């Protein structure tokens, strides 16, 4: 059982470059989420998908887009990376049968120069 | 944006000590309160999801209580061990049934042998 799998683990971008962070889960999660972790800020929600085919903004959505490709996959795209997007990104999933507790991926460390 | 606060920010204890920390959250429109443990270089892992006022949950030496009327939860660790060293996060889904969580900044626990 792979759980929640994120790729890549590390990435360095130049300002203005674009990239997509991939997330896939095999835990039959209905809902999936993207969070970012910054020092002193705690985990903050970027976007979430309550169910397949739906997406919605979280607390800090500016500069990001998401795609819920199917029930398993939820990707996060940076169209034009900025230094303020340097962060650690976590994908997570949840489902009602497990009290909606989050299962996190291993994280992506992104640096934008 | 919900105001979820944790105290203290950090805590150093000796092996064998018992310790506790606090999470405060908005008491209106309560749905659930989550606790996670986040070890260095790993992903956050769910400890408890608490939904009922007066609820108490236990997992080994770790337990948590919930007071929804006054908007706080305590996490207790009995007989701390070095492997308990981690950041402990609480989170509030803001009245929704999803894992759309607002996290506190966490309490960093260090247990010295």
Please answer yes or no on whether A43 and B44 come within 8 Å at the CB atom. Answer: yes
- Give the model's pLDDT for residue A97: 65
Q: Hey, is the C-beta of A61 within 8 angstroms of any chain B C-beta? A: no
Give the 3-state secondary structure of residue A97: helix
Tell me the pLDDT of chain B (113 aa) as tens digits. 678 999 999 999 999 999 999 999 987 888 889 999 999 989 999 999 998 888 999 999 999 999 999 999 999 999 999 999 999 999 998 877 677 899 999 999 999 99
Give the 3-state secondary structure of residue B84: helix
B25 membership: H or E segment, kind and range: none
Q: Hey, is the C-beta of A33 within 8 angstroms of any chain B C-beta? A: yes
How far, in Å, are A44, B93, B94, B103 from residue B1 at the CA level? 10, 11, 9, 10
- Give the model's pLDDT for residue B99: 73
Cβ proximity of A42 and B2 under 8 Å: no
Res A2 pLDDT > 90: no
pLDDT digits (tens, 9 = 90+) for A92-106: 999 776 668 999 999
- Give the model's pLDDT for residue A61: 97
With cut-offs at 50, 70 and 90, classify the pLDDT of residue A42: confident
- Give the model's pLDDT for residue A96: 74
How far, in Å, are A39, A58, B7, B22, B106 from residue B25 at the CA level? 21, 19, 12, 10, 13
How far, in Å, are A5, A68, B9, B53 from residue A56 at the CA level? 21, 11, 31, 30
With cut-offs at 50, 70 and 90, classify the pLDDT of residue A58: very high
With cut-offs at 50, 70 and 90, classify the pLDDT of residue A1: low
The stretch A77-98 carries a mean pLDDT of 91
**Chain B residues whose C-beta sits inside 8 Å of any chain A C-beta:** 1, 32, 34, 36, 42-46, 49, 51, 89, 91, 93, 97-106
Q: What is the rounded average pLDDT for all residues in chain A?
A: 93
Q: Using CB atoms, which residue from A43, A103, A107 is nearest to B103? A: A43
- Give the model's pLDDT for residue B97: 65
- Give the model's pLDDT for residue A7: 95
- Give the model's pLDDT for residue A6: 96
- Give the model's pLDDT for residue B103: 94
- Looking at chain A, the whole-number percentage of residues with pLDDT higher than 70 is 96
């Amino acid at each position: 059982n792979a759980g929640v799998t994120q790729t890549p683990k590390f990435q360095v971008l130049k300002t203005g470059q674009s990239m997509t962070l991939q997330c896939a889960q095999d835990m039959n999660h209905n809902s999936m989420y993207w969070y970012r972790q910054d020092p002193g800020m705690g985990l903050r929600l970027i976007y979430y998908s309550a169910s397949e085919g739906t997406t919605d903004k979280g607390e800090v959505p500016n500069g990001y887009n998401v795609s819920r490709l199917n029930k398993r996959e939820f990707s996060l795209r940076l169209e034009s990376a900025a230094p303020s997007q340097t962060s650690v990104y976590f994908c997570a999933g949840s489902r009602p049968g497990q009290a909606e507790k989050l299962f996190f991926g291993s994280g992506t460390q992104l640096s934008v120069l | 944006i919900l105001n979820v606060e944790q105290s203290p920010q950090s805590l150093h204890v000796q092996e064998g000590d018992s310790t506790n920390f606090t999470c405060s959250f908005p008491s209106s429109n309560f749905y659930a309160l989550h606790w996670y443990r986040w070890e260095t270089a790993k992903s956050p892992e769910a400890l408890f999801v608490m939904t009922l006022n007066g609820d108490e949950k236990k997992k080994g030496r770790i337990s948590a209580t919930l007071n929804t009327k006054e908007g706080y939860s305590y996490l207790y660790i009995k007989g701390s061990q070095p492997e308990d060293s981690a950041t402990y996060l609480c989170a509030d889904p803001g009245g929704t049934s999803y894992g759309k969580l607002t996290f506190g900044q966490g309490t960093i626990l260090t247990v010295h042998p």
